[in-house]
Structure 1
Amino acid sequence: MPKRIVLAALCLALSLTSLDAGAFTYVVQPGDTLASIAERFYGRIQHEKILVAANSLDAQGGSPIVPGMRLEVPALAHRKIHKGDTWPKLAEELLGAGGRADVLAIANGTSPWLPPEDGAEIAVPFNLQVIASSGDTIVTIAYKFMGDMNKAWVLDHYNKRGGRAVRRGEVVLVPLTDLELTDAGKKALKESNALICSEASGSARQAQRRVASELPALIADVRGGRYVDAVTRANRFLATESLTKPQLATVHRQLLEAYAALDAPGLAAASCAEWRKLDPSATLDPVLMSPKLISACNRSAP
């Protein structure tokens, strides 16, 4: 999938979901340390180790952070329950395996054998990827990241280890739930979302420029009587969902004529309504428009 579409979709998703939306990106500033970032965003200096693991900063003896570096800051995601959802189905979708249903249910204060309530919003643990070092065991990893060595059995089950010892270089997923953000953390999350949307807008500009170069071809299709081609081209433009208002007005004006010629009065009326909404200066001039077009536009009038 093109990066433009991914960014645009993510930007839209961020605008429609709750504030906490999984991990977010933070650009390191002068004077920042991992400890200061952990304290500022989580209110807990000890969460420094989570930032280290999430960004693989402990690889090859450890790596320092520098201004301008992008850090992934883990946070909880949320998901609204829909009719038909089950804990195994949700765990498969959100955590990667239906067998993790018990962890997801317990994280939300319930049991996996009780169905999730339709319409409720659940918290989704963050899957922290821990790369085992020499001397690591499932017990030490549980204690380090979950604060309780007795939760080693949870990690063993979560990672389907069956009691096998952890080897150096192996990946162990740790489902984190204690990731509540401070006000500063929530502000950083919003700023990260804005950055994602600004990147998407840069790609939107490319789409706008491409459509601008093709608009003359659309107009030529209509004038040349190639109405089916015009409808196909125009709807391809609309599918980008990133056109300027003047571009949208032009596209709908051409669709009005094409649909009218194809004897699709309902679609012609809808296109006329969009055209007039996008272009307040649009007029139904009988000198420039045929009676068929004016009739379609009058049909769309309230």
Structure 2
Amino acid sequence: MGLDLTAYFNRIGYQGPAAPDVDTLQNLIAAHGRAIPFENLDPLLGLPVADLSAEALADKLITRGRGGYCYEHNGLLGYVLEGLGYGVDRLAGRVVWMKEPDAPLSALTHNLLAVTVPGVAGRYVVDVGFGGQTLSSPIRLQLGAVQQTRHEPCRLLELPSTHGPEYQLAAQVRGVWQPLYRFTTVPQPRVDLEAASWYVSTHPGGIFVVGLTAALVTDDARINLRGRNLAIHRHGDTERVRFDSAAEVLDALTERFGVNLSDLDPGVDVEARVAQVLDS
């Protein structure tokens, strides 16, 4: 069964052209970021994320009004872009965001896309699934150049490697270049992405299992939630809100992030589980 592109466009509120060009790619990424939240409620509630088929992702993120994490966001967008006529390679990355330079090597637990636009030389890095610091625009797979996104500048650097080219994506946050993740351009088959998604959604010490996170990228702000702490980053300023209770956090998930909480299993005490991770 093919992906229903009209249903996806309705979900993200997109009414523009659907030709596979750079403008459409930019506009789809912006609309996706505004409409579909990053959230990890399934892993937090003990539900593995292992099916990355077009049918499963469309059911959750489109039909049921939920969000997800990198494998779900970029998985869905990858199917959409393929349906529109773009070339898409699914890649794997190692997260280095907020880690010390000498920290142990992290696993390949991030998913991003390399996208080819018909008639345009080169490829674009596309990522709508990196949570609070996700790319808000496509950037060229081009080394060294500072590339402006809808929010902050980004750049790609090449890392020393004995296994072929490896790149590091960095963003300029408050004037400081911050590394986000490293990746190669080796395409990843779905079976490997599903294995990695199952791992990050079930590992007892994984960040998506032991804590609550949500994010949304609007045209002028990044809205991030971690436990009871909400941060709204806008034009270099940050507004912070600290919620007193799990009930307030659930209200924020609904009202600020648009998460359809009625989709969750009625037999699970979601408020009690969120209360356990308010300070995670």
Q: Higher helix proportion, which one?
A: 1
TM-score by length of 2: 0.24
TM-score by length of 1: 0.23
Max radius of gyration: which structure? 1
Greater relative contact order, per chain length (Cα 8 Å cut-off, separation 6+): 2
